[in-house]
Structure 1
């Protein structure tokens, strides 16, 4: 349990997870796919560009990079090339450190959980297959191609939609968001939720500002800081 000097945050009852870079180690795959697409047209794709793309829907990424590099592609053509490259590498994506333990713990403690990801439902299906039991602990999943989703991150829509599908529906301030991207962090905060950010090391400090809590890994998360049940030393369980 935290001692008297440990900071505690507002109590929550529900948890919403981003997927790419948060639950699954897939951001590198998407970065490599984007790098391959823009390289076909003589351009380089660097870390700063990847940070700008993290958390966004494919069509939003396409618009951003087409404009940046003046690519001779429509947005749909770019998305097709990008997704073809990514799908080649998505069949064996590992989970991020600490995910198994935390999800098992929250599920055992009957904490409602959901996934809110900008990825398409087909992409998530492929990525999650090696970890298919992972989805069984979630109350529901909201993907970027959900027909009720109007705007992508950094707009708050995806997290508000995810919260609305819990039964009974919690207030936004009762939801805790886990995110790795600056866009996702801003989306969670705009939704009126607390956000635990677990960024890639190359994400600059200024793009982490505003997060409720910044951690190097999900392994470092202490649920009791948000009023969630304390994790004991139970044996680890794998969803793989």
Structure 2
């Protein structure tokens, strides 16, 4: 999209995994460890890319179907949880995440998180940065689609983004006034279906094939807020 086509926004919505925290790498490592227990020594890059951004249980079912391991989705989740809980204690924020969020917070730009996490998994993934992700501190609210009755369909459907927009207070945000940050193609598709602009920061492990993102950046460090009518960085 041409720079002239960027629209001013009033609210910002962030994805979590792979966008604010480097958790996708941790998930891949944990799944590879689990698969190895069942004699599958290669969690292929193709399969990793295929499930990126999928609703959790759907993605797990794809992995089970592709690898043929003899367990159910629920068994997979329990076994993987034991592995990734330990790994998540060392998870890092993505480059530029803290700078961008603190900048927008300082300028009183309302922000929310829209994630496919459950409440429990969100707590595990963000434990190292509890204050950063605390509701009412940097973020106005957090929508966790797996445990949210208002989110009937997962990404790439628009439900989670529309729910996030509705929950801003005192006035709900209009979709065309929201800017979404996503790392996955499914997330971008959902944000665009919601009528929102979407900045994509794709996983650098794979080539980016996305066609409908408003803007594609290598990292959040490359984002220029002023393109969307937001206060520019001071540095």
User: Which residue of 2 is the match for residue 151 of structure 1?
Assistant: 153
- 1:10 aligned to 7, 10, 13, which one? 7
Q: Return the offset for 1:56.
A: 2.3
Give the deviation of 1:70 after TM superposition. 2.7
Equivalent in the alignment of 2:112: 114
Q: Distance in 2 between matches of 1:220 and 1:131?
A: 23
Q: How many residues align?
A: 228
- Residue in 2 that maps onto 1:171: 174
Cα distance, 1:29 vs structure 2: 0.2
Q: Does the residue aligned with 2:205 lie in a helix, a strand or coil?
A: coil
Superposed CA offset, 1:136-157 (max 9, x none) = 2100011132232222222222
Contact 1:15–1:175 (8 Å) recurs in 2: yes
The 3-state SS of whatever aligns with 1:178 is: strand
The 5 A counterparts of 1:127-206 are: 127-135=125-133, 136-148=137-149, 149-167=151-169, 168-206=171-209
Q: CA offset at residue 92 of structure 1? A: 2.3
Q: Which runs of 5+ in 1 are unaligned?
A: 234-240
Change (3 A) 1:55 1:179: same
Q: 2:22 aligns with which of 12, 22, 25?
A: 25
Q: Which residue of 2 aligns with 1:238?
A: none
Root-mean-square deviation (Å): 1.7
1:17–1:116: 8 Å Cα contact kept in structure 2? yes
Q: Which residue of 1 aligns with 2:93?
A: 95
Q: Which stretches in structure 2 are left out of the alignment for 5+ residues?
A: none
Closer, same or farther: CA 31–159 of 1 in aligned 2, 3 Å = same
Q: How far apart are residue 7 of structure 1 and its match?
A: 4.0
TM-score by length of 2: 0.91
The Cα offsets for residues 109-149 of structure 1, whole Å up to 9 and x where unpaired, read as 11110011112222221222222221221000111322322
**Is contact 1:25-1:94 (8 Å) kept?**
yes
